[in-house]
Structure formats: C-alpha cells, structure tokens
Amino acid sequence: MALLNILTYPDPRLHKVAKPVAQIDERIRTLAADMIETMYESSGVGLAATQVDVHERLLVMDVSEERDQPLVVINPRVVWQSNEVVVGDEGCLSVPGFSGDVERYAQIHIEFENERGDTHKLEAEGLLAVCVQHEMDHLIGKVYVEYLSPLKRGRIKTKLLKEAKEALREAS
Ligand code: NI
C-alpha cells in the first residue's frame, strides 16, 4: 500500500468531473486500498478519487469511532434523498485548516458497487449522509467551499495559495 498525494484547493484539478469506473479490477482495488490508507493517515472520514488526481467515480469513507469500518463506494447513484435538510460544519482534506457551514439532505440512499463488483444499497443519515454528499460532490468537481460566501471562499483561497507558495520556496 502507498500513501497518495492529496490535491489542495484551489488546484484546478479538483474541479474535473470524474468518469464512471469502467472495470472493477486490481488497479481499482489497489487505488481503493491506497486511498483508505491515505484517509486514515490524514485523519479524514472520507476521500474521493478526484482528491488524489484520479478522475473516476470512486470514494472511500469511514465514519466509525474505531476507524475500522472502511467503505469503498464505486459508481454511486443517489436513489432517494429526504426533504429534510441539516446544516453542519464541514472540513475537507483538500482545504486544510478551514471549515464552514454547509446545508445537506438529512438522509440519502445510494446504490453503488463495492471493490468486488457487488451492488450495494446504503441508507445513510447523520454524519454518514453528510459525508456521502460531500464526497459525491468531489466526483463532479465540486469542493464544499463553493457553498460558502464569496468573501469566506476568497479568504480561504488567498491563505492556501500563500501557504503553497511558501512551501514551494522552502523546498527550492
Ligand atoms: Ni472533501
């Protein structure tokens, strides 16, 4: 297994739209395993392939306390969502050091394939429902900061660009 590099906002590659996974094979299983390792290493609850610069519809999640229930979600389709919405404070491994309030459906049901190619249905609520929607947004090139006010988004962008420039200068 290997740790993968996570793209940082406002990297334009975070806005690419992912294509469906055409074949669930060893390449996809290795990618999923590496993404799970990267997610745990970064203390995240979810990671989308887009964030590691692979533009295919695959994401991993683990919202368990023990961090021992990884879920691999391939080609997710929303089959139902609640009328009820919730607002919660979200963060993202691609937007380090920030968080912001985002409105999401309180419950969502999806269908997807797992890493063995079996079709599963997931009825999600609470943190898992929020996580599903956050990660599925990544697959259509959407980062949660796009839900924030232009002022707050601009502030985040400026700060992260400055940090990236400083990191580059230190490395050279
Ligand atoms: Ni994210």
Predicted confidence (pLDDT) per residue in 43-52, tens digit:
999 999 999 9
pLDDT value for 171: 87
- Is the overall model pTM greater than 0.85, yes or no? yes
Q: Is 66 a catalytic residue?
A: no
Quick one: average pLDDT of 49-56?
98
- In sequence order, the β-bridge partners of residue 111 are 77, 121
Q: What is the mean pLDDT of the chain?
A: 97
Task: Report the separation in Å between the CA atom of 143 and the middle of ligand 1, taken as the mean of its atom positions.
Answer: 6
* Separation of alpha carbons 65 and 103, rounded Å: 24
* Separation of alpha carbons 21 and 117, rounded Å: 11
Distances in whole angstroms, Cα of residue 74 to Cα of each of 63, 83, 92, 120, 152 = 17, 25, 20, 10, 32
Task: Report the separation in Å between the CA atom of 34 and the middle of ligand 1, taken as the mean of its atom positions.
Answer: 17
- Residue 119: is its pLDDT beyond 80? yes
Task: Report the separation in Å between the CA atom of 18 and the middle of ligand 1, taken as the mean of its atom positions.
Answer: 15
Instruction: State the catalytic residue, choosing from 66, 135, 146, 166.
Output: 135
Alpha helices in the chain, H assignment, sequence order = 26-41, 126-139, 150-171
pLDDT band (50, 70, 90) for residue 156: very high
- Residue 101: is its pLDDT beyond 90? yes
Task: Report the separation in Å between the CA atom of 76 and the middle of ligand 1, taken as the mean of its atom positions.
Answer: 16
